[in-house]
Structure 1
Amino acid sequence: MTVAGWAAVACASAARRQPASLRRFWSLLAATMALAAAGRLIWTVERLTGDDLPHTPLIGAVFTAGILTGTAALLCSLTAPRTAVGRARILLDGVIVALALVPIAWVVVFRNVADADLADPVRTLGLLYPMFDLMQLTILVAVAGPARPVWRPMSLIAGSLALRALSDTAYVALFARGDYAPGHPLDLCWPLSYLLIAAATGYPPPPVRADTDDTADAAPPPWWRVALPYLPVGGAIVAVMLARQPSGQTPHLVFGGILALLAALAVRQGLAAYENLWLVAQLRQLAYTDQLTGLPNRLMFTRRLRRALRDDGRVAVLLLDLDGFKQVNDRFGHATGDALLSGLAARMRAAVDGDGTIARLGGDEFAVLVDGDSSAAPERLAQRLLQALQPSDGEEDAGVHPSASIGIAEYGPQHASPTDLLRDADIAMYAAKAAGKSAYRICTPLLRESAVSRAELIADLRRAVDEGQLRLEFQPIVDLATGAVRSAEALVRWWHPRLGVLTPARFLPLAEEAGLILPIDRWVIHEACRAAATWRKRAPQATVAVNISAAHLRRPDLIATVTAATAAAGLAPRALTLELTESALIESSEAVLDRLGQLRELGIGIAIDDFGTGYSSLSYLHRIPATELKIDRSFVARLDSDDDRAYATVEMVTRLAGAFDLAVVAEGVETERQHAAVAAIGCPQGQGYLYGRPDVAAAVGQNRV
């Protein structure tokens, strides 16, 4: 009694100091221990004043209430199911185990109990306490969860329940034989079980899990956990056969227990069937819904598209791709990107407004299906989508709102399947991107033909490097003070067997799109280094400049590629300059800047190409370890027309470079007037058709002015 009271106080104290998620659990355990203390007190008082072994209705009610609160506590633990159906299933598991033990207990123990004793319902309830203990122990095993680390207090509570079950079983056996008397050593077991409950309150709460979703534990339960409520049923059936009396009748207690067991099994199976149906619905939802945005996914979109095509009505597909979304992920992280996608999906759903089915196909790609039930024209729907995606003032300032490009394809005789329709929408979408983004285009036969040619060109490009179709040409970079050519820029050309010589503008964008830019970049670096090593035999100060794509800049193996190329050619690293576009450098991460710093430490030059066309600022010049600025040709071209602003821009960049101790090259010098202007400004180097067109035979070491 005293130990149970102390355990009640300890549980109540734990309820006050534990997190809110555990307060109900410890409060119910405190009530259970308080009821146990009250029951023991009443038992002791009535035994001292009357019956040696009191089995009164009051004592039975108190202990029964303790069983109910203890069971409720287990069902409120952190690892218990969160749904009412799940809790009911766990409770029925315990009830089935308890009821299955009734006929087994009859054969083992109750057969020796007089019928007069069993006629007293209160006394019979006392004899069933071991079954209630095992019911609670079964529930504890079920809620503990085999896929989770067991919380230490649950182990102590399990030990308490097991000890109480053994104690109650021993008590029933001794009572049936008439061998139990107050003061028996068995009486120590119940206080010890309460002591284990009190000890459980001393442990800290479990650590907060990062994933609170029940689906995070994907491992299926072991076979014994699934079979747990059914394992004792076989023993119960055998016990029923053994419990039959000589007259052929089954004892009333056994018969009632079996009927209750069958009812519990029927309800349990009904709940299992309901849960299975619910799980099937959940799996269907997961299979056809995008989990981030809540929109239909690619699988559902394709199913609905096939159904719409079978109905032979008007069908159109809008394919939408967010422009610049990758930069959002790179700059702000995937959490910001996911939040942005969710917000944009909600805007697009509202813009479609029942005039189509919008789905997320994956990544930053969405699609809208317009069928015969829609009254909106696909073009009008595209305009509504673009309008919905326009950034607000706050989003524009934050710089985290991409635009979108939309391709439209309407079903026609040329489409044999949904794949063909999606392909045409994809063709139109890329045409919208090429038109400047934040626009829509409709797929036409001309676009389709162009896309086929483009695909053929990509296929040819895959073979170009291996078959030696690429060539390097070099455009001289002139020292304007002396006219000497000490450097040249390597420019790749594709000698296509059918189309002739193709410039970089014709095939490098395709190479980036098809993932072929890296092998082309590596080939160019190696060939340029070999050429520069040859020049330096006649002009020891000769250098070479090579353009590097933004994709290659982000590669961790860039340093290894460059050092391997210079080492293989026997070229000093200081003789190589890597040219990088201004926009690629501005969007660079800290890892990219560290990589450029390592290249500078090796002696390799870093040139900022097309300077002035991006988002030029003094702050990024401090961050980027550049050695050279190349003034964009658009400013140099305007020097012919006495454009004071162009003159001022070239002069400003030249002085800025001097302040930062950077070399300067004026690109696109094509006339004597432009040459005179950049020379008068004080620009030290120039490059352009005036000094020489790109050529296979480099003019490094010669004088061109």
Structure 2
Amino acid sequence: MLARPPIRSLPVLAGYLVIYAAWLLLGAPAGSLGSLPANLAIIPPFLLASLMVWRVSRLPRVPAPRTWRLLAYGLLAWGLGALTYAVYDQLGLSPFPSLADLGYLAAMLWLTAGLMSLRRERLGTLHTLSFLTDAALVTLVLSDLLWRLSLKDILSDTSLSRLALWISLAYPALDLLLCAATVTLALWRPLGIKRRVVALLAAAGLGFLVTDVVYIDLVAGGGYAPGNVVDLGWPLAALLMAWAAWRSAQVTSSNMSPRVSREGWKRLLPHYAVLGVFVVYLMTHLRAPLDDVQLGILWLTVVLFVVRQFLVLTDYQRLQLSLTHRAEHDPLTGVRNRDDLEVRLQLQIDEAHSWNGSVAVLFVDLDRMKEINDTFGHPVGDRLLRAVADRLMAQLPPAAVISRFGGDEFVAVLPTRGAEEIAGVAQALLDTVGRPYQIGPELLHISASIGVSLAPGDAADAASAIEQADMAMYRAKQAGKGTWRFANEQLNSLHMPQARLEVLLRGALGRGEFTLAYQPLIDLGSGRVRSFEALMRWTSPELGPVSPADFIPVAETREMMGGLGRWALHESVREMCAWQAELPGVSVAVNVSATQFAHEDFVDSVRAALHEHGSAPHLLTLELTESAVLADVAQTRQKLQDLGTLGVRVALDDFGTGYSSLGQLRSLPVDVLKIDRVFTQDSETDAAFLRAMISMGHSLGLEVVAEGIENASTLARLQALGCDLGQGYHLARPQPAAQAVAGMVQFRLSSGTGPLQLNR
């Protein structure tokens, strides 16, 4: 059973020392019994103190139990050494060395080990060296004092045996070690130990050292006898150690929260003490006659003090720079924080006035960060934020300053020569943020929305400029995210490609600017065409051919995709019915957008298209992306079941790039799995992943289609993995219906049922 906190023993020990001190001051030891009472009276404080410290080391959850055990061993060894000395003295014996010396030396060694065993926080190299230099400085001063008091005489005494010489030198050597441990304790605060406990332990170490030095001086001058007042110093140091242990036990057993000291100046007291020791030492040695050893110690002390000052000043400068950086920068991302954003921005706006320039404020807000945090956890989200900040800093011009404004918001400020330049910067930021992020095992995709204001044009002061950029960012989010907007709408129409696209896109369908191109899906086993995927194409009279990657997101966000999707569905079904005479049984696959699929009459519109052209439902495949399928799983499942009842096939497009799980895939009635092109490129690193996706699709009874077959090696790899269908430029490019059908008819006649020979 563990001991209880030694609360009652401390007053007993303190009371004993009061009586002992009074006894020494009254000269009581000078009696008929000689020195025996004095020798015996000094022993009980050490035995009682060692018992108290030992009991503290046995308490549960006490800080640094190993330290208290070592200190208890040291106090006990000192008490036993004193007892042995009393026996020798009473017998009239004075052997040297003796068992008493063994006890005293063991005590000093254990006390030093106990103080040095305290666990300390890791500091910077400069900070650590400054502490150690302080300890070495004080130790050198003590070594000079010990040299004059004892070391010089010991080394010159030729009557000492080799063992006696080493034992004599061990006393000052251990005193120096205890001095270094005490100074280190005072300067370098241990972890888990309260400041008052540290102060008591340091005072105890100092008490042992001062008493030893005074004792050595008295012995050297022949003025020491047992019962001298100096004897009070050793038990007083033992009391301080016991008091430190009692304080540690009191803090451990208390349920009260420790108070935070507001007297930060007290932390500097040990450093002031070191400076005081050096000043006193220097003043007492500048004009005193010195031998060679003392002169060497003096020069070494001065050099150490200079080194100490250099280390302290260098570490102080480093600390100041670190504190300044921490005060001005965001701890997570490393970019500047928002504390002085308005002040710095206002200064730049004022400077822009003087040279008739302007300052751009880009308000960057990340899209889908909440979804990332909810799906993968905040640690992954934090790493993603750091990666985004790194990309933003790398992409911005050198004159730009970026700050973290909020959780997933950044504000970049840079001088600019005009809106056209900033439009390029905003688009470059969107492009760099939109690239995939490899965060541990996860490949994450994220986009950003950016609002841009120009000062002093859009705002006369910093706060208004940030507010205007923030409002422009919200308009960018409303436009569909992943884009940017100027605060000035006139600048949007002039410099923003998406705004221009939106204007030209409206009415383009009515003007007949849209067409469909068809890319064949080839059976990788027989080499025959099984289907055509209908791909939408837009040729603007003003812009020329526009990539679907550019106009489809605009059509989606501006609610134009519903009309385009219905037109594509009807046109592709009509074309499919027309080619049945030449390619009987060859179906058509039509892409369906998320907004089109979410419309409540979607299944009815599919039924109407089939009925209008008299098409067999099984010849129509609707391709849905994972995002469209997972937007509302319950509603999706019902629509897919209705399409299955109608006889229409459903393909899950771009599989692997979203967040669908195997459980979700099993619960959805789909017929085809389309592997995205990012996994079918000619890279051996994706072979295992491809094999897993193909095997998973087959295990669920799904037909597997690989997109993006661009070369013969990719084709051969997919055939070896057992993929069902494939499409890509290596097989055939998208073409208008007439050319695509003619090419496949010719291909079918030339290839027959022989080996797979695909035309380009």
- Give the TM-score taking structure 1 as reference length: 0.43
Larger Rg: 2
- Give the TM-score taking structure 2 as reference length: 0.41
